[in-house]
Amino acid sequence: MKKSFYVFSSLFLSTLLLVSCGEPLSSSSTSSDVSSLPTTAYVELGEILASTTTLHARQSLTLSLENDEEVSWSVSDETLATIDENGVLSAKEKSGSFFVTATSVRNPQYQVNKLFSVNVLEARDLTSMLYSLGSDYNYTITWTGDFLSEDGEALTRNEIAQVTNSDEYSLSLYDDFAVNGNIAKFTDEAYYYRYGEDSNGNLYEGGSYNSPDGYVYDYDVNSNGEVVKGAMDYYSGFLGISDYKEIYTSDLSYFVRDEFKVEDSHLTLSEDGAYLEYNAGADENEITNFGPDVYAPDYSLPIAIFIAADPGYGSSLFNSGYHLAVTGKMQFDDEHFYGEFIFPGIYMTDEFQPDYVARFTIDNIGTTVIPGIMEQIALDEAALGN
């Protein structure tokens, strides 16, 4: 700043001297003098671009800038991640948040920041999540999957028909497991299932809900998407139970039970850090201590999730012993769960038992709504008033 002032003062005095002498100020001297003044180059960096701002352990991704400008990269916490001169960001095996900073090489006073986080998957966090879901009763779980060929490719319905000579049981199993899947919704007032087909080829939709008259009622959803109230639930009427959650436990409340511990499933972090891996052979929830005649699905992590999505098929897989050889992987955060499990050798015919990969997603946590249920409850309440 002092140097600039000195140059300006010198120019001003020179101008006065030239003017006083009657000599005009030459354009060449002016251009030369002005260009020698220090300037501050403005740099427009734009935003730091990244495919995601939440990394899993050991994940790497390359960052770039919205504008093509040479920059140096840095992170605010190198215990969480590092970044090289090319903008390759590499997460470590520690959860937390940090800033990435891109600083202009041409003018270091210009820089831009972006917030990132590392989410290291741990069994204790999965325990906490599933416990919360099982306690709060507000989530949506979806299930679908594929039957696999010997080389691991998804089989089509036509391929299964060819192998099984269009066996009716095999094709119906394919339709339910690979096409229809299931959607299950749980709220404090009701539960909803969509699965299977009726005699007219329509998907079944319905469940049970808590009525303000103190009983639990079954309901269906018609082709127009409307809730149709059914009969009082048998157990509700017989035992006087007013909450469906005390009647039906085919949901994630399994994870609230003391005897089930996710940690005992001995989940391991995958090599790339993206998943927690499951292997029934390492599961110490005593799942091998129960025969097929004993109903104890809560002793196997994938079976407990399967039963929440579809009680009938989940129980059938357990009773047939398929849970004893399951392998799989899981990924989750505070708002989402994804699980993928391989059940080996699912029986279709004596000659054909393909592996099956089941995929589960849990989302809409805390925001799940069952359409039409609150309206039906309002109708019941109005009927009580009448």
DSSP secondary structure letters along 185-236: EE-SSEEEEEEEE-TTSPEEEEEEEE-TTS-EEEEEE-TTS-EEEEEEPHHH
pLDDT tens, 249-301? 778 887 776 567 788 888 999 988 999 999 998 888 776 555 555 555 556 88
Residue 384 maps to a domain: no
CA distances (Å), origin 274, targets 80, 263, 362 = 16, 18, 17
Q: Please tell me the distance from the alpha carbon of residue 285 to that of residue 79, in angstroms, as a whole number.
A: 35
Q: Are residues 157 and 253 in the same domain?
A: yes
In which domain, by residue range, is 13 found?
2-35
Q: Are residues 296 and 276 in the same domain?
A: yes
CATH number at residue 90: 2.60.40.1080
Q: Are residues 138 and 204 in the same domain?
A: yes
- Position 166 pLDDT exceeds 80: yes
Number of domains in the chain: 3
Task: Grade residue 223 by pLDDT with cuts at 50, 70 and 90.
Answer: confident
Q: Are residues 346 and 212 in the same domain?
A: yes
- Position 343 pLDDT exceeds 90: yes
Residue 354 maps to a domain: yes
Q: Span 100-114, mean pLDDT?
A: 93
Q: Which of 162, 161, 165, 207 is nearest to 183 (CA)?
A: 207
pTM: 0.77
Task: Give the pLDDT score at 382.
Answer: 93
Q: Are residues 148 and 110 in the same domain?
A: no
Q: Are residues 136 and 113 in the same domain?
A: no
Residue 296 maps to a domain: yes
Residue 372 maps to a domain: no
Say if residues 118 and 53 touch (Cβ distance below 8 Å). no
Say if residues 358 and 173 touch (Cβ distance below 8 Å). no
What's the one-letter identity of residue 67?
N
What values do phi and psi take at 297, rounded to 5?
-65, -20
Q: Cα dihedral sign for 161, 150, 321, 328? A: negative
Residue 17: partners with Cβ closer than 8 Å, 6 or more residues away: none
CA distances (Å), origin 350, targets 332, 345, 354 = 38, 11, 11
Task: Grade residue 203 by pLDDT with cuts at 50, 70 and 90.
Answer: confident
Q: Please tell me the distance from the alpha carbon of residue 212 to that of residue 100, in angstroms, as a whole number.
A: 54
Q: Please tell me the distance from the alpha carbon of residue 192 to that of residue 279, in angstroms, as a whole number.
A: 31
Quote the DSSP letter at residue 348: S
Residue 380 maps to a domain: no
Q: Are residues 292 and 213 in the same domain?
A: yes
Most confidently modeled of 6-15, 135-144, 240-249?
135-144
Name the helix (H) or strand (E) containing 164: helix 157-164
List % helix, strand, coil for the chain (3-state, nearest 5): 30, 30, 40
Residue 359 maps to a domain: yes
Query: Could you tell me if residue 214 is left (phi over 0), alpha (psi between -120 and 50 degrees) or otherwise beta?
Result: left
Q: Are residues 331 and 188 in the same domain?
A: yes
Q: Are residues 155 and 201 in the same domain?
A: yes
pLDDT tens, 350-379? 999 999 999 999 999 999 999 999 999 999
Say if residues 278 and 327 touch (Cβ distance below 8 Å). yes
- Position 23 pLDDT exceeds 80: no
